Amino acid sequence: MGPVELLHMSVFSQSFSPCGRFLAAGNNYGEIAVFSLSAALSPDATALSQKAVLTFTAHEGPVFSLLSTDCHLLSAGNGEISCWSWSDLTKKNVKPLWTKRPNYKSSLEIPEINAMVLNTRVRTHT
């Protein structure tokens, strides 16, 4: 990303990994950057250690929302939600586990997904 893009970049979402060692941040260019908090916040931190350990394109449009679970990072953009494995991301393996796109009648109906909530009370039947 060049200096002009960096100047106009907005971070719309952020989420901590379940272990608390990483921070993911989503921007208006559809990218997710993963930062190592121990490296970035160390008393001996350098400009290099404060940079993202991984940056990847998650959506064609902005990443409006991020949500962490025990094992996964969910990202939401314009009308789609993708799921990433934290284990894979920490190994720099960038491949979504799944992406969900609800059916819309027209492109005018595609919403910005600005927030997600995890319902931990859902019961499953066996």
Domains parsed from the chain with CATH numbers: 3-109 (2.130.10.10)
Top-confidence residue, 76 or 111: 76
For residue 112, give the nearest of 68, 60, 69 by alpha carbon.
60
Question: Model-level pTM?
Answer: 0.87
Q: What pLDDT is attached to residue 122?
A: 72
H or E stretch covering 56:
strand 54-57
91 has pLDDT over 60: yes
Q: What pLDDT is attached to residue 103?
A: 83
45 has pLDDT over 70: yes
User: Helices H, strands E: what count in the chain?
Assistant: 3, 8
CA distances from 97 to 48, 49, 52, 74, 89 (A): 30, 28, 22, 10, 11
Tens of pLDDT, residue by residue over 15-37, are 999 999 999 999 999 999 999 99
**Residue owning tokens 């290099």:** 48
**Residue owning tokens 């284990």:** 87
